[in-house]
Amino acid sequence: MMKWLLLLLSLAIVYYTYTYGRWALEKGNKRGGIGVFILAAFVLSLSVYGIFFTEPY
């Protein structure tokens, strides 16, 4: 159950980051918007890896 709560928190952060990237693209900052999307994907992949594929302490 705790894994799913941690994943939900990560998804909320990634969603906020995604909306910022979308806003940056709308304002004409193409390079910054794409960079934010890459950052959001990286954070989500690290979160999923850390939560589900690593050994607990």
> What pLDDT, in 10s, does the model give residues 11-30?
999 999 999 999 999 999 99
So what's the pLDDT on residue 2? 85
pLDDT top residue among 2 and 37: 37
Residue 11 Cα distances to 1, 26, 29, 30, 48, angstroms: 15, 22, 24, 23, 10
pTM: predicted TM-score of the whole model, two decimal places: 0.79
Give residues with Cβ within 8 angstroms of 9, minimum separation 6: none
Contact between 39 and 17 under an 8 Å Cβ cutoff? The reply is: yes
